[in-house]
Amino acid sequence: MARLLTRFGEIALKGKNRRYFENALTSNIKKALRGLSGCRVEQTRSRNFVEVPDKLLDDAITRLSRVFGIVSISPVVEAELDMDSIMDVALREFSKIARAGLTFKVQTKRANKRFPLASPLMSAEVGAHLLTNLPSLTVDVHEPDLLLEVEIREHEAYIFTQKIPGPGGLPVGVTGKGLLLLSGGIDSPVAGWMAMKRGVKLEALYFHSFPFTSERAEEKVVDLCRVLAAYNGATRLHVSHFTEIQKELRQKCPDKLQVTLMRRMMLRIAARLAAERGAQAIFTGESLGQVASQTMESISVIGRVTDLPILRPVIGMDKAEIVEISRRIDTYPISIRPYEDCCTVFLPEFPVTRPRLAEVEAAEAALDIEALVDSGSGPNIRTFEIRGQI
């Protein structure tokens, strides 16, 4: 059996809610490890310990590195609660990574205050033992190349030298539920990832305009959702039938307003679905100034159709920054697959960049809005349950 220690970050600051956040994190860790048989999760103050069968260690680390709330993960080695055992194990572990000329430091944390030696003393003794046996090393307490940490617990001591970064943030679910408008593009998956990072459990909604957009376009969104589900856990993906709406808009409304009108229809359907699903906000991948529909005027006119907050986690980010995150979270290769989306298919040559509400509402007067919302809602939504590890 191998052991992993996972540390929380910001959760530790959450005062009265701390217990709630910690329990949510433990529960998400357990879900993330589901299917890896033989794993056991233990919760202690500001950290979790996970027991993992040796052959599943890499897999477990990969999964844990996607659990929001975890700031770092360390494989730990156990020693008995006496100095000889601790020094032996410390030396053995350190010998594996020590190289001539490197500097090091020992740091001790004593969760078990009954252990007779105070932490600084422990660190000094272990450090001296390492120096004696590995004379090519030197100590640097300020900026060591290597850090050996000792954690004294109730029944044993843990020793570790490695810290693998976690994704940080808050455990998915603690801040509520959101509905992500997920297209096949680069931005909306990143926006979803950022929402989850702040503790939002997501459901996703995709508008599909078959046959204007192909089955491959839908498949792309399913694949994106699968990547997000590794962070979000089991994820509902709703696919709204958007074809009737696009046909109507094309027939009855001016070309230049198509994008604005389409977005308003999307948000109306999203708002209805959000109410049905108990989502408290709608998330999109809009970034200010990126395309015609992402001016302040446009965002304002589009947002008028619902009272729900529309949150845009990538609003202030440059495309390059969004791309960087999408590469990091592995949505990028899927997002750049060359399948059209419903907006590019119907993109007019000269979309308005500063739509006026009166003009937009006048154009909508030609439409039966309720009937159109119906055509993309309720039974006209197909729902997929995308399996996730959380």
Using CB under 6 A, which of the segments 18-26, 170-178, 186-194, 374-382 binds ligand ATP?
186-194
Using CB under 6 A, which of the segments 84-92, 161-169, 288-296, 372-380 binds ligand ATP?
288-296
Determine if 69 is a binding residue for Mg ion (CB under 5 A).
no
| Environment class of 117 (CB within 10 Å of its CB; exposed 0-12, middle 13-18, buried 19+) | middle
Question: How far is residue 207's CA from residue 182's CA, in Å, rounded to a whole number?
Answer: 8
The answer to whether 127 and 149 are in contact (CB under 8 A) is no
- Residue among 93 and 341 whose Cβ is closer to Mg ion: 341
Determine if 169 is a binding residue for ligand ATP (CB under 6 A).
no
Query: Coil, strand, or helix at residue 128?
Result: helix
Question: How far is residue 370's CA from residue 146's CA, in Å, rounded to a whole number?
Answer: 64
56's tokens: 């599943």
Task: Find which of Mg ion, ligand ATP, none residue 207 binds, CB within 5 to 8 Å per kind.
Answer: ligand ATP
Task: Find which of Mg ion, ligand ATP, none residue 181 binds, CB within 5 to 8 Å per kind.
Answer: ligand ATP
Asked if omega into 211 is within 30° of 0 (cis), the reply is: yes
Residues 6+ apart with CB under 8 A from 328: none
Using CB under 6 A, which of the segments 29-37, 96-104, 279-287, 351-359 binds ligand ATP?
279-287
Which residue from 26, 161, 183, 331 is in contact with ligand ATP, where contact means CB under 6 A? Answer: 183
DSSP string of 211-275?
TTS-HHHHHHHHHHHHHHHHHH-SEEEEEEE-HHHHHHHHHHS-GGGHHHHHHHHHHHHHHHHHH
The answer to whether 161 and 148 are in contact (CB under 8 A) is yes
- Residue among 130 and 182 whose Cβ is closer to ligand ATP: 182
Residues 6+ apart with CB under 8 A from 265: 242, 245, 249, 372, 373, 376
Which residues from 187-216 bind ligand ATP, rule CB under 6 A? 187-188, 205-207
- Residue among 185 and 199 whose Cβ is closer to Mg ion: 185
Task: Find which of Mg ion, ligand ATP, none residue 342 binds, CB within 5 to 8 Å per kind.
Answer: ligand ATP
Shortest distance in whole angstroms from residue 172 CB to ligand ATP: 19
Shortest distance in whole angstroms from residue 349 CB to Mg ion: 18
The answer to whether 227 and 361 are in contact (CB under 8 A) is no
Question: How far is residue 217's CA from residue 222's CA, in Å, rounded to a whole number?
Answer: 9
Task: Find which of ligand ATP, Mg ion, none residue 26 binds, CB within 5 to 8 Å per kind.
Answer: none
Which residue from 75, 169, 173, 185 is in contact with ligand ATP, where contact means CB under 6 A? Answer: 185
- Residue among 148 and 329 whose Cβ is closer to ligand ATP: 329
Interface residue list for ligand ATP (CB under 6 A): 181-183, 185-188, 205-207, 284-286, 290-291, 293-294, 341-343
